[in-house]
Chains A and B, each alone.
Chain A
Amino acid sequence: MDLTLHVWRQDGPQADGRFETYRPEGVSPSMSFLDMLDLVNEKITGDGGEPIAFEHDCREGICGSCGMMVSGVAHGPEKLVTVCQLHMRSFSDGDEIWIEPWRASAFPVIKDLVVDRSPFDRIIEAGGYVSIRTGSAPDANAIPVPKPDADRAFDAAACIGCGACVAACPNASAMLFTAAKAGHLSYLPQGQTERLHRAARMMEAHDGEGFGNCTTHGACQEVCPKGISIDYIARLNRDVFRASVAGISLDDG
């Protein structure tokens, strides 16, 4: 395939970035997008340059490491895939492709296509869990969970923490990420005790990290590789409101 790539290159967090153009040879339609970038990098290395830095690991769409804007769309043109699952058969001969990192002030660029997504960890740290000590659990079947609730919990729990929702959002909001975890736990009996507290604390952490507010554009759910619905954002908003009405304190305990 004959392609022209314009790739964002940036040496470090403080450096200015620029687009560099590459015309890879030997690209075939059965290659994955990241196999194609590997090929470009082998060529750059052979020519004495520094390869393009990008994050990736499992290359099967589950670890959440990879992610980049492909011609303006997070994870590229195919629905419900991460960029590692995107294949070159989705492109046509002669295509020009623009490749950029996630753009959000809460996700500063580290190098080239690599950004810092540690704010996600801090949102989970603020309350994205059930407080249970190892070894103190009752028998697993002691509390039945209606299948529809378990399914709804799962749909939200499928989030891989890739950050595409933030990159797609015009406000750079991380509400889909935050709502997915809060939503997952809110559908399960095990998550009820801390439900409102959790919602309030995760929301506070979200805002504190510099993510924008949700204005219901829905761009996030369009690019989410796991198809997570913005309905969970409505549910989180309701829980946050209930927490404020109930006067729930953000402090521990």
Chain B
Amino acid sequence: MELDAQIPSGPIESKWGRRQFELKLVNPANKRKHKVIVVGTGLAGGAAAATMGELGYDVHCFTFHDSPRRAHSIAAQGGINAAKNYQGDGDSVYRLFYDTVKGGDFRSREANVYRLAELSLNIIDQAVAQGVPFAREYGGTLANRSFGGAQVSRTFYARGQTGQQLLLGAYQALERQVHTRAVTMYNRHEMLDVVVVDGRARGIVTRHLVTGKIEAHMADAVVLGTGGYSNVFFLSTNAKACNVTAAWRAAKRGAGFANPCFTQIHPTCIPQSGEYQSKLTLMSESLRNDGRIWVPSRAGDDRPANQIPDAERDYYLERLYPAFGNLTPRDIASRRAKEMVDAGFGVGPLQNGVYLDFRDAIGRLGKQAVSERYGNLFSMYEKITGEDPYQIPMRIYPAPHYTMGGLWVDYNLMTTVPGLFAIGEANFSDHGANRLGASALMQGLADGYFIIPLTIGDYLVDAPRGDIDEDHPAAKDAVREITEKQARLISARGSRSVDSFHQELGRIMWNHCGMARTESGLREGLEKVPALREEFWRDVRVPGSGDSLNQSLEKAGRVADFLEFAEVMLWDALTRDESCGAHYREEHTTEEGEAKRDDERFAHGAIWEFKGVGVDPVRHQEKLTFEHVPLSQRSYK
């Protein structure tokens, strides 16, 4: 597997500028002759399809939703970072770059992260020009807040609905291109495979979710903006339909999959309330700006929160991290909450949470001010739990939320399969082992609006085009494989529902490859997953047929892919014999119980090559060097 990151030479500040000049250009008159497929209509996919349409490419854009306005980017609450320094508090491109590399615990590429920080400026300009209604000061300028432990105020936000407003901006830009016929939309089409011809990505296989029709679509290049895989845990904050299928299919067709074990567990979610629960809900971590996290000092103390005096409360983050207190990075806040609950200090009916208390904030600022900052979050919490957080402290617990791992891409966002690109959460590029708050929207839009529309031209100039169609043997083979796989799912006629398998897989992954991992636990997971996969194919029950809307069949295909992918995740966690960021191996901790990196052996990205279902995948490395942000132990004390 070739792993040339294609990083431009020269000083870090001028690498992206240099690359833009080096990229070969497609003559404007010829752009229309190049057909590009974009899969996914979240921030990355929607922005990419819209911008490539504007540039003149013949764009064909696919989503499995009923409309390109529904992808899970829409649920991002908190905000988007940009190094505008509108607050004059000492922010800069360099500082955002530095914070992101350090926050990622030194497992990302410096050159990529620097470009991301640079482009953060353009994103805000673009979004405002589209009419995204960001929060404003009374003077009419844009408002900012500090977010997720950043020590400058660089986060732009639109109430608690920043992701929604940015996605609608991209969606509207996309619809504008649909109107001009530059982009052809394919709603309710799920991508099920990549078609590779002579080593290059030349198309995809889709299933129309209403008619059931399985067919190939050919193109000169394919861009995947298909999101992350947190739903491997079944319970996560991701939307129900989020899945790994597109990325995993690409991996099976030769694309290296990087750092699959880097999964982020978000500290502020509403704890599970029962077995039947289908999904977890995230509460914006902006709540940690004013809320104080605590558990009772005595394990098993089941008095109502308000009857526990201060002297008998343990504000453990403030105790352990006096400098950052409740604003420590996500991985640390999550892990400490788990430790408390595991040690018997959990609160709530199932003793599966910790308190996030606004009593002192309400006392200091008044109920009105707290309501202005967090009103929508408080009412969301009350709707779900039936408890009023103005009166009773919220209960929170960590939940899977975002995946830093993804398809390996070079600096131009191309995977190891020529002509196949990955953008947004679907790639592995910028967040290392831990993503900082308000950075996911930034990366999705940087990739979609500003990077892929330029880098793809460099590939297209010399790529074959127009020489093959849907009758090519590779396309026909892929369609046949997918059709057969679907028939196997339907004909299994077993005894267990798809969801029951998904739940069981989720429990295995949460217990063996969740917030804290051990060698023996991971090895156990590697025994259990293949066994469950075997049982799935033997005993799954998929009602209905393949030729109409069949949501059980859709889920079955996704769970089948999760059952293969999970094994690679376990391998990655097992072989990364260190702790870093969100990947916490209990064998590797500092004396204070923090993640202990092993830079000698593991300052690299791990890229997995698929060798067959049930066959051990092969691990490759991309060495990482740090010239600007000196390798150091993160300290938030």
Binding site for B on A (CB under 8 A): 11-12, 26, 28, 30-32, 34-35, 38-39, 42, 44-46, 48-51, 53, 55-65, 78, 81, 85, 87, 89, 110-111, 114, 116-118, 120-121, 124-126, 128-141, 143-147, 150, 153-154, 157-158, 160-161, 184-185, 188, 190-191
Least Cβ–Cβ distance between B442 and chain A, in angstroms: 14
Report Cα–Cα, A134/B131, bound state, in Å. 13
Pairwise interchain contact A125-B131, C-beta atoms closer than 8 A: no
One of B75, B122, B274 near A28 (C-beta < 8 A): B274
Cβ < 8 Å to A, chain B residues 114-150: 122, 124-131, 133-142
Report Cα–Cα, A133/B279, bound state, in Å. 38
Report Cα–Cα, A234/B544, bound state, in Å. 47
Indicate whether A58 sits within 8 Å of B239 (C-beta atoms), given known contacts A31-B276, A161-B67, A190-B128: yes
Q: Is B513 an interface residue (CB 8 A)?
A: no
Residues of A within 8 A of B65 (CB): 57, 65
Pairwise interchain contact B125-A139, C-beta atoms closer than 8 A: yes
Pairwise interchain contact A51-B140, C-beta atoms closer than 8 A: no
Q: Is B590 an interface residue (CB 8 A)?
A: no
Q: A35-B277, A63-B70 are in contact. List 17 more A-B contacts (CB 8 A).
A: A12-B548, A34-B278, A38-B278, A46-B497, A60-B380, A63-B74, A65-B66, A87-B384, A131-B176, A134-B173, A140-B124, A140-B129, A144-B136, A145-B140, A150-B134, A161-B69, A188-B133
Q: Is B168 an interface residue (CB 8 A)?
A: yes
**7 A-B pairs whose Cβ atoms sit less than 8 Å apart in the complex:** A39-B276, A60-B281, A118-B187, A134-B173, A136-B129, A141-B142, A154-B159
Residues of B within 8 A of A188 (CB): 131, 133
Name the residue of chain A whose CB is nearest to the CB of B71.
A63
Residues of A within 8 A of B384 (CB): 32, 85, 87
Q: Mark B161-196, 1 if CB is under 8 A from A, else 0.
A: 100110010011101101100000101000000000
Pairwise interchain contact A135-B122, C-beta atoms closer than 8 A: yes
Residue of B138, B173, B278 contacting most chain A CB atoms (<10 Å): B278
Pairwise interchain contact B178-A125, C-beta atoms closer than 8 A: yes
Residues of A within 8 A of B131 (CB): 129-130, 153, 184-185, 188, 190-191
Residues of B within 8 A of A138 (CB): 125, 129
Pairwise interchain contact A38-B276, C-beta atoms closer than 8 A: yes
Indicate whether A160 sits within 8 Å of B164 (C-beta atoms), given known contacts A42-B499, A81-B383, A117-B66: yes
Pairwise interchain contact A137-B139, C-beta atoms closer than 8 A: no
Least Cβ–Cβ distance between A101 and chain B, in angstroms: 13
Residues of B within 8 A of A56 (CB): 240
Least Cβ–Cβ distance between A65 and chain B, in angstroms: 5
Pairwise interchain contact A132-B130, C-beta atoms closer than 8 A: yes
Pairwise interchain contact A30-B386, C-beta atoms closer than 8 A: yes
Q: Interface majority SS on A: helix, strand, loop or mixed? A: loop
Residue of B69, B141, B142, B450 contacting most chain A CB atoms (<10 Å): B69
One of B75, B133, B541 near A62 (C-beta < 8 A): B75
Pairwise interchain contact B497-A42, C-beta atoms closer than 8 A: yes
Q: Mark B494-524, 1 if CB is under 8 A from A, else 0.
A: 0001011000000000000000000000000
Q: Is B54 an interface residue (CB 8 A)?
A: yes
Name the residue of chain A whose CB is nearest to the CB of B453.
A134
Residues of B within 8 A of A57 (CB): 65, 70, 72, 239-241
Report Cα–Cα, A56/B179, bound state, in Å. 27
Report Cα–Cα, A11/B550, bound state, in Å. 11
Q: Mark B237-277, 1 if CB is under 8 A from A, else 0.
A: 00111000000000000000000000000000000011011
Report Cα–Cα, A49/B178, bound state, in Å. 40
Name the residue of chain B whose CB is nearest to the CB of A132.
B129
Indicate whether A85 sits within 8 Å of B278 (C-beta atoms), given known contacts A65-B70, A154-B159: no
Name the residue of chain B whose CB is nearest to the CB of A187.
B133
Residues of A within 8 A of B541 (CB): 45
Pairwise interchain contact B130-A85, C-beta atoms closer than 8 A: no
Residues of A within 8 A of B497 (CB): 42, 45-46
Pairwise interchain contact B279-A59, C-beta atoms closer than 8 A: yes
Residue of A45, A61, A134, A184 contacting most chain B CB atoms (<10 Å): A134
Least Cβ–Cβ distance between A164 and chain B, in angstroms: 15
Q: Is B321 an interface residue (CB 8 A)?
A: no
Residues of A within 8 A of B273 (CB): 30
Residues of A within 8 A of B385 (CB): 30
Residues of A within 8 A of B636 (CB): none
Q: Mark B534-559, 1 if CB is under 8 A from A, else 0.
A: 00000001011000110110000000
Pairwise interchain contact B164-A190, C-beta atoms closer than 8 A: no
Q: Is B108 an interface residue (CB 8 A)?
A: no
Report Cα–Cα, A184/B185, bound state, in Å. 25
Q: Is B233 an interface residue (CB 8 A)?
A: no
Indicate whether A58 sits within 8 Å of B552 (C-beta atoms), given known contacts A124-B175, A125-B178: no
Pairwise interchain contact B551-A53, C-beta atoms closer than 8 A: yes
Least Cβ–Cβ distance between A53 and chain B, in angstroms: 6
One of A46, A89, A116, A129 near B173 (C-beta < 8 A): A129
Binding site for A on B (CB under 8 A): 47, 50-51, 54, 65-72, 74-75, 84, 86, 122, 124-131, 133-142, 158-159, 161, 164-165, 168, 171-173, 175-176, 178-179, 185, 187, 210, 239-241, 273-274, 276-279, 281-282, 380, 383-386, 449-450, 453, 497, 499-500, 541, 543-544, 548-549, 551-552
One of B54, B274, B282 near A134 (C-beta < 8 A): B54
Name the residue of chain A whose CB is nearest to the CB of B163.
A62
Pairwise interchain contact B549-A58, C-beta atoms closer than 8 A: no
Report Cα–Cα, A62/B72, bound state, in Å. 9
Name the residue of chain A whose CB is nearest to the CB of B500.
A42
Indicate whether A154 sits within 8 Å of B133 (C-beta atoms), given known contacts A128-B172, A140-B128: yes
Pairwise interchain contact A64-B276, C-beta atoms closer than 8 A: no
Least Cβ–Cβ distance between B120 and chain A, in angstroms: 11
Least Cβ–Cβ distance between A31 and chain B, in angstroms: 6
Least Cβ–Cβ distance between A43 and chain B, in angstroms: 10
Report Cα–Cα, A185/B60, bound state, in Å. 27
Residues of A within 8 A of B449 (CB): 134-135
Residues of B within 8 A of A39 (CB): 276
Pairwise interchain contact A150-B133, C-beta atoms closer than 8 A: yes
Residues of B within 8 A of A42 (CB): 497, 499-500
Residues of A within 8 A of B158 (CB): 154, 157
Report Cα–Cα, A139/B499, bound state, in Å. 48
Q: Which 9 A-B pairs have the closest CB atoms?
A: A144-B140, A137-B129, A129-B172, A137-B125, A154-B133, A57-B239, A140-B128, A134-B51, A125-B175
Least Cβ–Cβ distance between B29 and chain A, in angstroms: 18
Report Cα–Cα, A158/B158, bound state, in Å. 10
One of A114, A117, A130, A153 near B549 (C-beta < 8 A): A114
Report Cα–Cα, A54/B158, bound state, in Å. 30
Report Cα–Cα, A117/B386, bound state, in Å. 32
Residues of A within 8 A of B138 (CB): 147
Residues of A within 8 A of B500 (CB): 42
Report Cα–Cα, A56/B499, bound state, in Å. 15
Residues of B within 8 A of A58 (CB): 72, 74-75, 239-240
Pairwise interchain contact B67-A118, C-beta atoms closer than 8 A: yes
Pairwise interchain contact B549-A49, C-beta atoms closer than 8 A: no
Least Cβ–Cβ distance between A24 and chain B, in angstroms: 11
Residues of B within 8 A of A184 (CB): 131, 133
Report Cα–Cα, A188/B239, bound state, in Å. 31
Residues of A within 8 A of B74 (CB): 58, 62-63
Residues of B within 8 A of A150 (CB): 133-136
Residues of B within 8 A of A50 (CB): 543-544
Least Cβ–Cβ distance between A18 and chain B, in angstroms: 17
Report Cα–Cα, A128/B184, bound state, in Å. 18
Report Cα–Cα, A12/B126, bound state, in Å. 42
Residues of B within 8 A of A120 (CB): 67
Report Cα–Cα, A187/B493, bound state, in Å. 56
Pairwise interchain contact B54-A133, C-beta atoms closer than 8 A: yes
Pairwise interchain contact B75-A48, C-beta atoms closer than 8 A: no
Report Cα–Cα, A57/B68, bound state, in Å. 13
Residues of A within 8 A of B172 (CB): 124, 128-130
Residues of B within 8 A of A48 (CB): 543
